[in-house]
Structures are given as structure tokens and as C-alpha cells.
Structure 1
């Protein structure tokens, strides 16, 4: 055994984080002392300092049991009126809100009153365990789901209240409370189990010596299976393999009335042999009626409740497919039921069991005989539908006979049989195998009666005619069987194709959804209205309340809201058609990824009926890609938020660096000039004083531009920049910008080329002027002293180009896109120039807001840099009218 397996076994001994432990007191029958033993253990726990709370305990008037309740705090029961009767149920919410590390819940298989949150008490226990509360509970062996039909065979009573076996199997402790049948009968006669009148009726009906002995054996077997499982767990914890060799049990089921009985028997066999087991249904293309499909679905749901795996295979040969699947899963036992077609088994040996025995080498095959009890009468509607098919077979035979009689003078006798074969094929394609075989037999009789000599008689004179009729019947049966099978397979393929198309269509819609709301809208548009369903999708807001995120506004009842909340909290289906809060018309299914609900899908039948099994499986299959798309959208939102947070932090760091350097420099210069003027006063020459004042003014203007850049970038980033457009001449914008920067441009040789006949611009003049000022200031900052700065305005391709060329160091090709990033200058450190690095970024934003762009290229003669502002030229206004 590997260390990993040993570690898994050790971890399995501990409860899941946040989940309580379950202890089950198992008995063979009522009155053996389960509740008494549970209360005794509860008192022992209380003496050890644990907080104990009685959720619900049924004393049935037993004085010994009522005496043990003394000293234990009890949660008051809820009273519910149902059909004029007052019912007392456990207050689940009260128990959840009351502090208590151990809760006593009697009668695990009890059915709750209609209108309760859960249909069964064992579901209440599961919610308590999920809340981290330990639970003591009691249950009788006849209430175990897998033993339901066995108890019926023993006692003659069908137990209606059952508990899935997995609920008991997940118990941390299972304690068998045993009492010999004679002692239990004595307790019944003394009135310690029921009142005397009920006791006499119970002894006569259920509590007989024989029944109690058989139930006691079943209880011991269930307890022994749990003990053996614990022993195997102990071996694994010790690092050694368990003595018993484990294989796998496969149970093959079909759509007959013995499917559920076969599943229960397989669960008991697997439990006794400690084998994992699977239910396998091989779809061989045979068309099942509605009852058959419902029986298969019921068997699959029962297998899931009993802890089995459900597998559906599609193949033509059932036995061979079961053997191949058994070898793939390394199964050691295959369990099947006895074939319904006994006459065919006797004649041809064609039963599944016989073929399994012939083809299974080294594989154990068990065959469960059919129940001798009469099955329930089948609905009359099915007979009506079946008789319609057989009437179609009769009508097709009559039409084929008439057509054959009409062409008997044209076609030879052997060719006339093809007309009847066509009728058989038609019936097989339109109905199923039974009517096709009936049509083949009727065609055989009609062919013999009408066309084989002597005519109008079933007698045959020639031996070769006998062979012809035999071959005709054989070919009709084979073709009918083949056509019926192909039809059923075609229907199965159509259903599979329809589901695949729906998945592909939904996937295509979800692929185009970029955010969470788009995913929800795509899912709602795909699902709503299909199959007569009304769909809405709920989400939780920041206050934890569910609201409709996609779908028409819908009002829900209190029960429907409670079911939705419960489905979200427990990641399980709830609502109409389920066992949890079934009142209302909505069925809720959580859209979950990694045990985290992302949304809640609500489905309601427009006709008000409960969803069928295939519809629920289809919706669950369609819900999975929706959940994955929601997770993808959520992850995308988180990544975008993380990216924005990172960029914000980067901008903040760059801004601090910029403020500490670029804003401090002009302030320092201004302070030095002012201090000199204050300290020296009249001692400073007039020319020097004027120079200091002009320097202070220039630095103040420079500081004002920096602050203006910061404000403009803030306005651009928050989308608050408004464009007050007007018609303006390009020469005015250029002239105003040059005038503002006359002091900055004074050390340079300025060359301006602005034609006189330029078209007008329809822009926000102040923003374009500021953009041009930023470009000019950037060029002046990097130009050498006495360098040439050229400003040229041209028109190309319905655009006005304002180009500013300098003779600076130039910009590398790889960096030309980066110069428009905010704080690019600060990110590169001190390059000898000054500035925040916001100027060109603001320039790009201002020009882009007008539908233009800023291009970076080489300067004149390949020296320096040329930055060009490209602005679109709209249709020019009429000079004869007022300019807007």
C-alpha cells in the first residue's frame, strides 16, 4: 500500500472540515430500545461536558424513555395543521440557531409534514451535519432503501418511508441495538412498545416470531457490513491491504418492471461483498414505451441514492457490450435479470444471461429470477396506442394485398412478394418490432391465401411453394426487425443530436459573452421558451439577497424564495418536483464551479407540470457550460481589477516621483529668486532685479502648465472632458501657442510655415492649442541651443497636419509608441530634461477626442524628431451664411 493511500485512509477517519459527525442507532424493529440507548449515550456525553439538545424524540408513551428526557434541554416542536390534524415536527431553524454541539433526532426515516423545508427528516439531519453539528439518530433496518423489497417479501408490508443507504454508510459510528424476538414480543404484550390495542394488531400483522427473526438477521448483516468496512479502513490506516479482494459489480437493467428490484438486490450483494458497483444500461436501439423509459430512469435514480454509479452505453449487442465494459472496469461480478421473452429463450437460447455465460471467461454471472408477483396493471392509454400500431399493420397488409392483386397480371409471382415486403418495411419504420412482425405474419397468410395455388386456400400443393413461403416469412421478419431497430436508433441519434446541437448553440452564445451579465443573458435567451420551459437566473447582491439577474421580472412566493435560498446555501436542487420545499412552481438548480455557487437557475413548466428525468438531466448538462462561463467571466473581472489596481499603484508611484522632482524644481527656483529680492532689495541692480522677476514669472508659468497637465489628465481619465467645438482657423491656433511659449522658444531658431488658404477646423480651440503647446514644449526641451525648430501646417487626405520638427537626440523606433504613456519620462529617470511625462499623453488624449491622432517620425534630414498632429477636416461651412 502506498503512503498516499494510507494518508487517505487516515484522513477519512476525520470528519470533513466544518461538518458534524453522525452516530446511528440501528435496530431490527420498533421497541428494541434504540431511543433508550440514544438518550443514555446523550446523558453520558452531557456528563463529559458536551452541550446536548433534543431536536425531536418520539417516546410513544414509554415511561422509561420519558424519564431519560429529564435533564436534557429540548427544542420546542413546530405545530402544523394539515387536513384538520395538528402535526408536530422538529424546528430545524430553531435547532440551527440554538448553541449545541450534539443534537438528538429520533426516527431518521420520518416524513415531514407537507409544507416543511424538507420532505424527509434525514434531509434535516444532513443540513445539521453541514452546519457542523453532531447528530445522534435512530433508524430501523426495514427503512433502508436497498432492503425495501426484501422487507416486503419477509413481512408482506411495503414500507413507504425509506432512507438512502449512503446516509447510514457515512455515519462515523453505527451502533446495533439488539433484542431477541421473544423479549421484544414480551415487551409488546406488556404494552411497553404500543398501547394494548395497537400491540395486538402489530403482533398479528408485523411482529411475528418469524418476521422479527428475519429482520434481526438483516440488521446484523447491515451492522456486519459496516464493521467490515471499518476493519478494512483500519488495515489501510496501518499501511497494509485489507484481506478481502475487491472487484466491481455490474448490474445490467432494461426497461422492465423488475429494474428497481434488481438494483436493490445488486446494492445488497455489493454491500455484503464490499464491492463498488455500477448500474449499466445498454441502449441497443430498441424503442421503449413511456413506461419503459420511466422505469429505467427510476432505476438509475435509485442506484444513485444507493451509492452506485450510473453508466449508459450504446451498442447493438447487449451481452458483448456488458462483457467488454466489465473487462474495462475490472469487474468480477455481473448481475442481470431473467429475460422476459421466455419462449425465445427456450427456442433459441437468445437470452442475455445465456449469452453472458457463453462469452464470459472467468467472470461470475448471477441471474436474478423474475418476481412471481403480478405487476401493476398498465395504463389503458398504452394499449390504445399499441392497438393503433397493430391496426396500421393490418391496414398495410390489406393495401399491399390489393396492390399485389392489381399487378398480378403484370408481375411474376415471385415479384409480388416484394409488395408485401414493402408493407412490412413501412410498418417497421412507422411503429416498432411487434407490429412489424404482425404485418409479416399477416402478409405471409395473405400471400399464401391469394397467390399460392390453390388460390383462396391456405393449403399448398407444390413443395417449392412451401420453401418460397418460408423464405418470404424469414425475409419479412428480418427486414422488419432491422427496420424497427434502425428507426429506434435513428430516434436515439436524433435525441442525442438535438442535445448536442443545444450544447453547441449554447457554447457559441457563451463564447461571445464578454462579461457576467452577457453570460446570463445568453443563457436565458438560449433556455427560455425551449421545451415549454420558463427560465430565470438569480444572483446575490452585496447584501446577500437573491434578485433576478436575467429573465422577465417574476414574483415568487415565500416558499419559492425559501427554496431558492436553500438551494444556494446547500448547492443542491430544491423546489417543485424535489424533496426540499416542493411547494410552488419553480425548480432551482445552482450554477456551481468548485463548490462555489455563482448563480441560481430557476425553471418552471409553462403547463405547471413537474420536470421529467430527461429534462432535468438536459438542464443540468446545459447548466454546466453556463457555470463555467460565469467562472470565466468572474476570473476575467478579477484579473481586470488586479490589472487596474497595479496600474493605479504604478501611476501613484510615478506621480509621487514626478511631483518630488518636476514640481519641486520650479518652486526651488522661484523661492531662490524671491529670497534674493527680499534679502538684497535695492542693492540689486535694476537689470538683475528684472531678470529675477522674469525668471520667477517663467517658473510660475511652467509650474502652472504642470498643474494644468495633471488636471487635464484627471479629466481625461474620468471622462469629464467636454468638447465645446467651434470653427477656428489653424493659423490662430498656431499663433496663440507660439505666443504662450515665446520665452521657452526664444533660445531656438524658429521656422514657421503656415499657408494663408488653409481650411477651417471644427474643434475645441483651447484643447488643440494646449496639445500643440505640449508638443512644442517637448521639442524645445530636447533641442540644443540655437537649434532649428520648424512648425509646418499642411493638408493631406482630408486631414490637417501640424508638424513640429526639432534637432534633438531623436526617439528610437521601439520607443515611439511609449512616449505617449503617462510618466514615461519619470520612468526613464533624469534624462537631463524636465517634465512630468504627462504632456504627450495629454496631447494624444485631446487629439484623439477629436477623432485625430499623433504620429512620431524622424526630423528634417533624418535629424531629431517630427511630431505631427493629424486632425480630420469636416465639410466646410458656407461662407455666405452664419457660422455656427
Structure 2
């Protein structure tokens, strides 16, 4: 049924409903937010806790800092307080919050003060807010306290306002994910009065705080920040409520910010400013960096990585782009992502530089039609001088470049002087241009500039009149010198850029080729163990660090592959790997969880979830950007390969299960038929004997008793076949290795068959010189009898022949009938369990186990069995067996 627009508008927002459902599975986080210490956050939190306790609520004090305030400490009386964990730090014993004890106690509500606190000692998390996140994920409601200056996005603003750097900071996402934010407010004048009365800090600390931080202007500014942030949080809650309940409101066009950063210190301020702007606008924001094809220095890339990590902590989406035209790439991304505002940093430039070079913000403003541009300036940064270049220091290898430039210029000079001994050339300067190009090609831009300057001097000194001086006599020679210098520098710059791009292309080609080889290796590997070893060796070769892969097993993660093979994981490493697997986030060195581990662990994410954990030895040495990209690609391919191996293994298990179900169905079908027929015959015969025994003739009673005997024997053989097949399937057929006289076994089996099948003719032809074999006479006799039974059923009315002879080092036994034979397509299936071929004469088909049992017994005695059809005269079937001759070599004739 079609829906109109009104029906669609009345539906709740699916994303909002999913967020609400997710909140129902987690605990609730309540943050008591204040503008500054001493406003009464802890006091308000404890007062509310006592009220909940009086109402019968399960509430526990995990950690509360009273800071010597008597009225706050008095509120702790009557409340359950968890003991603190003792840690040793710099020779002092400190008391920290015990996270494991809180998880074991598992109260309904727990109070954990000082949200921005940094943990000491061997803690699972370096920051207390991470402890609180684990408690909330475990379904425990947490109450905590926070001052506004500890928010990451506001730390630089607070440092500017108060003149004091903020060392302990909390990502804004922690406050954004809080279920309730309660503002605890106090006018600045009253807070200063409380400080003077000693109700905030002890006297010595209070005096220092009043001089540095607790000033009326500082407190007023901090109070405004706290009020604004709380108002934004209330607005977010209102929007969530409207979406969850499909209430139409004044929905406006969504704002989206695009933040441009680079490898410079100003980018950190740009990110923080953009975070505050996005929070005030309630807008999504993306942080982007446009990088040239040429590789940046490791220091610049490291600074850029740190800025990206800060942006991710503040809740931004991050993106990296490769390109040379920064303005075009930024505007292309802005239009593709529907950005409404661009935030970018700018510096003050001196006047001469502005004449020759337009800044990136100016270029964006000139071409960004319809997009607002926000410029972030750094008042503390000096203006960029005209002499400032793209690199503040000389590039690596500049000494080698100057040496190459000197050598090539000297070679060009020597070659020019040699040529002038034989012929005078007007364009001898082309030799020096060649020297510039060679220097640029082999040593880069610095070498090109050096070669150009040295070539100018050498050309002037050796080839321009007056020779032997740096004086230029003719004006046109001066002009030629300047043109040569410009051409040399331009050609050298182009050659240098081509060289850098070629080097970058080679590096990327090598990385791409390595990934291609790795993907080919994985595509041809279906075994999970091979995938793991291929992955750890590839990662070790790429990163030159110890690598380890952990997979889930028995409810835990275990080390399955490592390179080098002697790599071992300690208890902390294992805990970090387990955390990465369970929480689907990175853990270990360089992260916020168990950073004391020398390894960093990352989850292997596949379309079906986490399939394992990868760890590499970091030891406080972060990966470079190229290593990070290569690692991400390898991990993605490894996750897919591990998932594919798991699915392959599951498909094999399912195939085996289906085969087992087919086996069971065939078994039940065979049993139901083969038991019902003889039982019905036996039951009918017994009933006839009981009811009509005295009135029946002697011949009739004998026929009925014979039928009972035959069908009982048939049931006995059927049960014996089932037991034999069970032994074969279970692998418990242990054939003896006794000396076996094949002729005796054949004769015994034939006599047994003649007893069971009196109407069948069996012809025996056994060579007189058959040697002994090593085997089990009982199993061999059962095999021959099964083959004779099969020939009796399917061999028609012709005699059945049994032959025995020696061929080289083997004894061959064969059973041949002259029945209809077996179709070529069924020759490979006759030894399968429950394979039966119907016959037109209506005789019993049997269970279909005889030949399968025969094959199992023959192979248990190191023999081989094979079916052939037609056997002779274009019909019939021959089943032959081959057994190795025993070493003794004793023949039947020698024994006789």
C-alpha cells in the first residue's frame, strides 16, 4: 500500500531508535559538570547518592576525592566504599581506583570522581575516563565529576584565559555520549569567597590558586563556557527526543564543516577551533589533509599523524588526499561531501611575499562560491618572512648533492676546455646545462641549484672574455648569463621533480607489487594455518618488527602464528589482545588500553565480525604513514582470507554433516527394509506353525522351519555386516599379521557359500604353488563370502568362478559371475556404502554393505580391490583382489 509524505514524516528516525536501543544495553553515564574546582560537584553527587541509598538503591562509592573538605567527607558516612588499589609510583605508594573490584562487585550505581584523572602504575587504562567507559559497557550506571577546563577542545582556550596549561584532558566524545549532564553552578564572587574561607583548598594551595587561577575574569569566562556547553547538550537531547518520537520540529538544513590541516603546529589549533564550532552548530565535520606525491619528511608526517589522532578523539571524520593542486582537491571534496563551511589556518605574511605568492586561504576564497571560509590565526606565531621556504631546514643529503654538483660542473668545465683546444664553439654553455640536469637527476633540487651557480661562475671564469676573471665585458654576455641561470634552475627544478616523483612511484609500485604478491598467495591458500604464516611473514617483511596473530579458540584468543617464530607474548600482551578482540578496538602500546605492553594489537575485521587479532612490536615507536597504509591493506586482506578459510572449514563440516545425514537416512531405509522382510517371513512361519501345526503335513512344517532358519541366517549376516561397517567407520579394524594359506581360506568360504546358497554352482580354480601371505584369515574369509553372496544375488543363473594365481610379487584372487554386469558409470560406486542396483527378477537387493565391507577389510590387510565389467563374453562382473606375497616364499606344493 503506498504511503504519502505525511506517513513518512510520522515515522521515528531509525538511527535515533537504534541509538536508544543501544543505550538500553549499556549502563548510564551521569556527569556533574562545573566551571571550576570548588563549585560543589562532589558534594552534589554525594547528596544525591545518600538520597538514593535511603530509597533502597544499590549504590557504591568507587572513588571520591574530598580534598580535605569536612562537609564533603561527612557525606560518605553510611555509604559502601570500595577499597582502593595500592600502586608504587616514583618511590611513593599511591591509592588508585580498583576497576576489577568494581566489576566484581557490580553495583547498580557507582560513583567515580575526577573523570579527567591520569592513572598511575600498571593500570589497564592510562586514563580514568576509560575505566568508566568499561564500567558503562558492563551495564553499570556511573556518576562522575568534571571541570569544563578539562575538555580537549577547550584546553587551548582555557590556557589562553587562565594562563595555565591544562595537562589532564578528556575527549569531547566522552561528554557527548553521557546520558545526563548536570551543571553544578556557583557565582564567581561566591566561589572566591569559599576559597578564602578554606573550603576549596588548604591555605597554602588556596593562596597560590587565588593568585593564578581563581580570579574574577577567569571564573566568569569558565562559567560562560560551562553554561554554553550544557545548553548545547540539552539541545542535543531535545533533538534526540524529537527524532525518536517522530515529532516535527523546526528542522533546518544541516551544516557540515571541512577542516583543512597540514604538517605544521597551527593545525592543532585549527582542529580545536573547528571542534568548538561544530559543537556550537551541532554539525558534522571532516578533517582533511592534501599531500603532494613527493614524500614529506618523517617529522612532518609524524606531526600530521598526531593532529589526525587529535581530530579523531574530538569526534571528526578524517581523510587524506594525494594531489598537487591543493585548491582544486579541497573544493572537489567539499562539493562531494556537501560541506557548507571550510575551516583553514592562515599566517601573516610580509608584503613582498604577498605580491608574488597568493596564500591557500586567499585562493580558496576566490574560488569557493557558496561556501563560507573560516580563517584561524595564531597570534603567537611570527609572520612568515620572504626568505622562508617550504622546508625550514636543509633537506637530507644536501652535502652529497653539493658534492655531485661540484663534480659535474668541474667535469663540464674540463670537457669544454678540452674541446676548445680543437674547435671554438659558441654554445659551449650547453655542457653546463647538461651538468645541471645530471645533478638534478641524481641528487635532487639542491644539487640542481648548486650546479647552476657553480656552472655560472665556471663558465664566466673560463669561457667569457676576459678569460680568467669574473668580469663580463659585453652587455649581451650579461644577458646570456642571466638567461642561462634561469634556464638551468628551471630545467634543474623540473628534473628534480621528475626524480622525486619517480622515486615515489617506485616506492608505491614496490608496495603495490608486495600487496599483489601477498593477495595472490592468499588467494591460493585455503588452509587457515597457511594464511596466518603468510600474513605474519609479510607483515614482518614490511614493518621490520615482530608480528603475531591470535585467533579465537575455546572462548579465548590464542597465539597461532608469530614471526620470528620465537616471539612470545606476556600476560599483559595477552590481556591486550583479548581486549582488542572483545571490544573491537586497538589495545596495547600507543593506545588508551594497557599501554605498558610493548605490542600493539588491532582487531581483524571481516564482513562477519572480528575473526582474530594482529599484534606488532611497537615499543613507543609509532608507524610512519606509509607503513600504516601498508599495514591497513595487509590486515584487510588477512581478515578476508582468515574469514574465507573459516567459511571453507564450516562448509566442509556442513558437507560432512549432510553426508552423515544421507548415510543415516540410507541406513534407516536399508534397516527398515532388510529387517522387515525376514522378520515378516519368520513371524508368518511361526504363526502358521502355532495355529496349524498339527493339521499341517510333515513336508509343510519342514518348509516353514527351513524358511525360519534361512531368514534367521539372513538377519545374522545383516547384523554382522552392520557391526563390521561400524568398525571400519570407527577405524578399529585391526587386521592380524599371521601366516595365511589362501587356498584353505578360499575352500572354507566356498563351502560356507554352498551351505547358504545350495542352488548356486561355484567353480574353484586355485594355482597349486600359491605362497603364504601375511593377513587375517577370518577377515579374508568374510571378504570372499561377501563377494560370493554378491555374485549369487546379481550373477544370474550361471556358475560363479573363483580363481587364485600369482602375478610377480602379488597373489590375485577373483570372483567372476556371468550376470548382466555393471554399467561403466557405476564401477567406481559399487564399493560405496548402501549402493544397490535393482534387478528385474525381483530378488532381494541386500543392504548394499557387502562390497563396502570387503573393501575396508582388504585395505586393512594392505591389499587392493577392483571391479571390472564386462568380465567375459561381454557380460558379467569380475571383482579381483591383490595381496603382497609374504617374504617366506613357501608354496603349497613345497608344503605338500
Fold match, TM over 0.5? yes
How is 1:215-254 mapped onto 2 (pairs within 5 angstroms)?
A: 215-237=222-244, 238=246, 240=248, 243-254=251-262
- Give the structure 1 partner of residue 850 of structure 2: 839
Task: Give distance in 2, aligned partners of 1:272 and 1:148.
Answer: 16
Task: Give distance in 2, aligned partners of 1:726 and 1:588.
Answer: 60
Match of 1:622 among 631, 634, 637: 634
| 1:592–1:190 distance in 2 versus 1, CA, 3 Å | same
| 1:803–1:594 distance in 2 versus 1, CA, 3 Å | same
Task: Give distance in 1, aligned partners of 2:23 and 2:142.
Answer: 15
Task: Give distance in 2, aligned partners of 1:350 and 1:842.
Answer: 90
Deviates more, 1:754-763 or 1:417-426: 754-763
Q: Deviations over 1:844-869 (max 9, x none)?
A: 44456657454464576666xx4443
How far apart are residue 112 of structure 1 and its match? 0.5
How far apart are residue 399 of structure 1 and its match? 1.9
- Give the structure 2 partner of residue 262 of structure 1: 270
- Give the structure 2 partner of residue 380 of structure 1: none
1:400·1:419 contact (CA, 8 Å) conserved in 2?
no
- Give the structure 1 partner of residue 523 of structure 2: 511
How far apart are residue 124 of structure 1 and its match? 0.3
Q: Determine whether 1:55 maps to 2:62.
A: yes
2:132·2:142 contact (CA, 8 Å) conserved in 1?
yes
Deviates more, 1:113-122 or 1:484-493: 484-493
2:795·2:817 contact (CA, 8 Å) conserved in 1?
no
Match of 1:586 among 599, 624, 627: 599
Task: Give distance in 2, aligned partners of 1:480 and 1:174.
Answer: 62
TM-score normalised by length of structure 1: 0.86
Task: Give distance in 2, aligned partners of 1:782 and 1:525.
Answer: 60
Task: Give distance in 1, aligned partners of 2:613 and 2:546.
Answer: 14
1:334·1:364 contact (CA, 8 Å) conserved in 2?
yes
| 1:158–1:482 distance in 2 versus 1, CA, 3 Å | farther
Q: What's the RMSD between the two structures over aligned residues?
A: 4.3
- Give the structure 2 partner of residue 379 of structure 1: none
Unpaired runs of 5+ in structure 2?
1-7, 384-390
- Give the structure 2 partner of residue 181 of structure 1: 188
Match of 1:549 among 560, 570, 585: 560
Give the aligned length. 870
- Give the structure 2 partner of residue 869 of structure 1: 879
- Give the structure 2 partner of residue 32 of structure 1: 39
How is 1:420-569 mapped onto 2 (pairs within 5 angstroms)?
A: 420-429=432-441, 433=445, 436-455=448-467, 458-528=470-540, 531-539=543-551, 541-542=553-554, 544=555, 546-551=557-562, 552=565, 556-569=569-582
Q: Determine whether 1:116 maps to 2:123.
A: yes
Task: Give distance in 2, aligned partners of 1:234 and 1:243.
Answer: 13
- Give the structure 1 partner of residue 586 of structure 2: 573
| 1:592–1:328 distance in 2 versus 1, CA, 3 Å | closer
1:285·1:486 contact (CA, 8 Å) conserved in 2?
no
Match of 1:346 among 354, 358, 372: 354
Task: Give distance in 1, aligned partners of 2:646 and 2:396.
Answer: 55
2:526·2:644 contact (CA, 8 Å) conserved in 1?
no
- Give the structure 1 partner of residue 623 of structure 2: 612
2:793·2:843 contact (CA, 8 Å) conserved in 1?
no
How far apart are residue 201 of structure 1 and its match? 1.1
How far apart are residue 123 of structure 1 and its match? 0.6
- Give the structure 1 partner of residue 647 of structure 2: 635
- Give the structure 2 partner of residue 279 of structure 1: 287
| 1:267–1:872 distance in 2 versus 1, CA, 3 Å | farther
1:413·1:451 contact (CA, 8 Å) conserved in 2?
no
Q: Deviations over 1:538-560 (max 9, x none)?
A: 44553x55543334466554434
| 1:313–1:177 distance in 2 versus 1, CA, 3 Å | same
2:831·2:852 contact (CA, 8 Å) conserved in 1?
yes
SS of 2:81 mapped into structure 1: coil
Q: Determine whether 1:6 maps to 2:17.
A: no
| 1:553–1:17 distance in 2 versus 1, CA, 3 Å | farther
2:745·2:780 contact (CA, 8 Å) conserved in 1?
yes
| 1:195–1:315 distance in 2 versus 1, CA, 3 Å | same
How far apart are residue 665 of structure 1 and its match? 4.6
Q: Determine whether 1:193 maps to 2:200.
A: yes
SS of 1:400 mapped into structure 2: helix
2:30·2:180 contact (CA, 8 Å) conserved in 1?
yes
| 1:407–1:432 distance in 2 versus 1, CA, 3 Å | closer
Q: Determine whether 1:312 maps to 2:320.
A: yes
| 1:873–1:678 distance in 2 versus 1, CA, 3 Å | same
How far apart are residue 59 of structure 1 and its match? 1.7
Task: Give distance in 2, aligned partners of 1:17 and 1:673.
Answer: 73
Match of 1:170 among 173, 177, 187: 177
Q: Deviations over 1:227-281 (max 9, x none)?
A: 3333433443435475332242222222222222222222222222222222212
2:739·2:773 contact (CA, 8 Å) conserved in 1?
yes
Task: Give distance in 2, aligned partners of 1:341 and 1:484.
Answer: 28
| 1:6–1:796 distance in 2 versus 1, CA, 3 Å | farther
Deviates more, 1:411-420 or 1:669-678: 669-678
2:405·2:448 contact (CA, 8 Å) conserved in 1?
no
| 1:794–1:631 distance in 2 versus 1, CA, 3 Å | same
1:404·1:416 contact (CA, 8 Å) conserved in 2?
no
Q: Deviations over 1:391-423 (max 9, x none)?
A: 334323322332222122427767544444444
Task: Give distance in 2, aligned partners of 1:828 and 1:304.
Answer: 76
Deviates more, 1:161-170 or 1:723-732: 723-732
1:259·1:295 contact (CA, 8 Å) conserved in 2?
no
Task: Give distance in 2, aligned partners of 1:290 and 1:427.
Answer: 24
| 1:349–1:624 distance in 2 versus 1, CA, 3 Å | same
How far apart are residue 79 of structure 1 and its match? 2.1
| 1:326–1:743 distance in 2 versus 1, CA, 3 Å | same
TM-score normalised by length of structure 2: 0.85
- Give the structure 1 partner of residue 387 of structure 2: none
2:548·2:559 contact (CA, 8 Å) conserved in 1?
yes
2:787·2:815 contact (CA, 8 Å) conserved in 1?
no
